[in-house]
Amino acid sequence: MTIEEAVGHYKSLAKVEQAFRSLKSPQLEIRPVYHKTDDRIDAHVFVCMLSYYLIWHMKKLLKPLFDEDGVGRSKEYTLTSVIERLKSIRQEKVNFQGIITFSITKPDDEQQKILNMLGVSIS
């Protein structure tokens, strides 16, 4: 194995370790959950892995946003802050005298920029 290959494998190991730390983070919270059946345990782990994949994919798509941002404490955008910004977008079901309509919050410019980067359209 060459030095470059060894370094590449070590960096891959670091990425796997980071993935497991992310699973235990407050965002995903895979932790001991005492399910009664193997199917429920499998479903819980599947949902956590799917969540991790979504977070990984979001980081990949938002990389330009994170890269153009400041450093250290002056950094405006983190994955957590992006999720918090998007949380205020809501869809409300309105039932007025039997007529049901849906109202979706209009994203502000910053939210729209994030949604565009993620390839998400709200209609």
Phi, psi dihedral angles at 100 (to 5 degrees): -105, 130
What residues contact 22, with CB distance under 8 A and at least 6 apart? 28, 52, 55
Q: How far is CA 88 from CA 13, 81, 82, in A?
A: 37, 12, 11
pLDDT tens per residue across span 16-74: 677 766 666 665 556 666 778 888 888 877 887 888 888 889 989 999 999 888 777 77
Q: What is the pTM of this model?
A: 0.66
